[in-house]
Structure 1
């Protein structure tokens, strides 16, 4: 019984399989899937613009004037007329030393001067009388010569006392210490009531320091190769980026600067000095620029970056930096041919200029560069190019940062 049931089940399965094969033969064959359309990409022609390459260096600010305030006379400090760290102008009163001893010395010098003048007046009168007496043979010539000598000594004594009065007046004037330059003063080094040592020796008391703030200098160093490049530019007649300006002693090349918390080089200054020797230990030479600092943002000792013109103006091709791909050490772009197929071109890159990359070689001004949709294309593919909207025309005379 079991075998019969098994045979019946197997026979039924065969019948069902044959029916399914007959039904399949009666249907139409499946159609092939339609090919996908070419991917859409955005293309743009390279921008042509006249630019200047800029070299970038790191440096720090230094004050044009830095002065140590020291007393010229010794005495007790009586008053301080400023707050630590404030801005002062040239001539502002900073410190006052006790004037009383110097006023007394001045009064004494004036009194001595009056005494010397009285002695001179007596000697002059005595000499006038002697002149008549010597003509009358009442006195000898020797007596007349003695009175003449007394008058000359009195005149010299008056001159000496006049000098003593002027010195006493200077000492009294020196008790008021005024700012020799305009700038920002540091903290006081001596409190009121302390004895201040003055004079011209190295043991004088330091009272405070003043550094000028406007204008301010920026010092940096550049390498020997850059210096030579500037010299070559000068030899080729490119005066805008040559020794007469950039590497000149006292040139006037415009430079740009940004602080460590800024993104753009918005501060404009001028080169005013380049050193006369290259350091043997580092192979670098020191340059200096001057910047206006009316707002007091720049402080001596502060670090910043400066851009110096490194080439003569030239016409360059520029494309968006995002359109450039990398293949190991080589850089490339995708361009669309007239038949809408993609081609790969290797390019030589230059500096950035306002988000666009300068292309030094490998690209033509008429090429249609793919700027959007790079991940969807491969060389040889058909694409559907769409022209990117034309950007606003850039101002002439752009700058490129290396």
Structure 2
């Protein structure tokens, strides 16, 4: 019996296993595909606006007029009437020199002129008398001619005396040193009481014009036709000066000016040309010798389609953007007409299109996306003057 019972149990197990295997093999397959995961992205709208184009360069701030104050006569510096860093106007008295010797020479020249004029007056009276007497042969012709020559001689002497007076007056004016320009006084190199000579190269100090001021900069020679058009334009081209020399970063705006001139030749060693812009500088943010970044407005694109630089992607042979279409994205080829650190001007899309601005690395055409934020508009950039 035990053997028969074991046989029955084994047979039952075999039947159960066979039935289970048959059910598993004949079970209907339910193809349940997993839904694709949405890729999170940030988006931005295409904005249509007027966009000014700029070209950048590194420039140096230059004074339009800087003068080193030097004496024009030898003498002792008696008074300094300005302080270092003081703003002065053209014609202001800056310093005085000892003028006693020059005044003495002037008084001597005036005395000689007065003496000569008295002699000339007597000679002219005698000449008139001799002229009347010569009619009746009261005096000889020779005497009359000699008197006329004496009058001419005294006239010439009087003119020489007057010239000496004028020269002394000019020398006297040099003892009062006045500012030839409106500007700021530099660091003083001479104190009161020093003896100054005309041959001194150092001078007393400098006076540098601060407002208005200029910036000189260099650009590639390929910009020559554009700059020529800007110089000849009725409205001067706008130029902005920024603090620092990193053209890729917009620093602090120091001033707004206009393009004034371009140099008359190109530097053959560097292939660049020099240009100059003038700036009003009432707050004195621009300082002579300062290095700045200049941006020149070269054109104005009206009604341009603009997007942030992060929107445009570069493919193997062209640029493209990902445009939102429902819950998916599509790849749209675009052409970049202009780009800078703030925005790109493109064609191939329409104003108001929603484009992906962040998260493109995981995208491909047809990818399902999830917009993290509502589609904001790219900030409009107003044309700068």
- TM-score, normalized by the shorter chain, greater than 0.5: yes
Q: Contact 1:71/1:205 (CA < 8 Å) preserved in 2?
A: no
Matches within 5 A, 1:19-98: 35=35, 38=38, 41=41, 43-98=43-98
- Over 3 Å counting, the alpha-carbon distance change for 1:211 and 1:147 in structure 2 is same
Q: Residue 245 of structure 1 is aligned with which of 213, 223, 230?
A: 230
For 2:224, the equivalent position in structure 1 comes to: 227
Kept in 2: contact 1:244–1:251 (CA 8 A):
no
CA drift at 1:337: 2.5
Judge conservation of contact 1:90–1:180 (CA < 8 Å) in 2. Answer: yes
- Unaligned runs of at least 5 residues, structure 1: 1-20, 26-30, 231-241
The equivalent residue for 1:257 is 241
- Between the aligned partners of 1:86 and 1:329, the Cα distance in structure 2 is 62
Does structure 1 retain, via aligned residues, the 8 Å contact 2:42–2:359? yes
Contact map agreement 1:313 1:397 (CA 8 A) in 2: no
Q: Is the 2:242–2:294 contact (alpha carbons within 8 Å) kept by the matching residues of 1?
A: yes
Alpha-carbon distance change, 245 to 373 in structure 1, aligned in 2, over 3 angstroms: closer
Assess if the C-alpha contact under 8 Å between 1:249 and 1:272 holds in 2. no
Root mean square deviation of aligned Cα = 3.6
Partner of 2:329: 342
Aligned residue number for residue 197 of structure 1: 197
Which residue of structure 2 aligns with residue 381 of structure 1?
367
Residue in 1 that maps onto 2:270: 282
Residue 204 of structure 2: which of 207, 222, 235 is its match?
Answer: 207
Alpha carbons 1:335, 1:345 under 8 Å: kept: yes
Cα distance in 1 for residues equivalent to 2:221 and 2:116: 69
**Cα distance in 2 for residues equivalent to 1:94 and 1:154:** 41
Count of aligned positions = 360
2:336 and 2:154 mapped to 1: Cα distance? Answer: 89
What secondary structure does 2:265 align onto? coil
- Residue 269 (structure 2) pairs with residue 309 (structure 1): no
1:315–1:160 Cα change, 3 Å:
same
Gaps of 5+ in 2: 1-16, 22-29
**How much has 1:208 moved relative to structure 2?**
2.0
Q: TM-score, normalised by structure 2?
A: 0.80
CA separation in 2, counterparts of 1:47 and 1:153? 91
Provide the C-alpha distance between the structure 2 equivalents of 1:115 and 1:250, rounded to a whole number of angstroms: 64
SS of the counterpart of 1:311? strand
Q: 1:57 to 1:251 in 2, by over 3 A?
A: farther
- Tell me how far apart the structure 1 counterparts of residues 269 and 208 of structure 2 sit (CA, whole Å): 30
Match of 1:217 among 209, 214, 221: 214
Give the TM-score taking structure 1 as reference length. Answer: 0.77
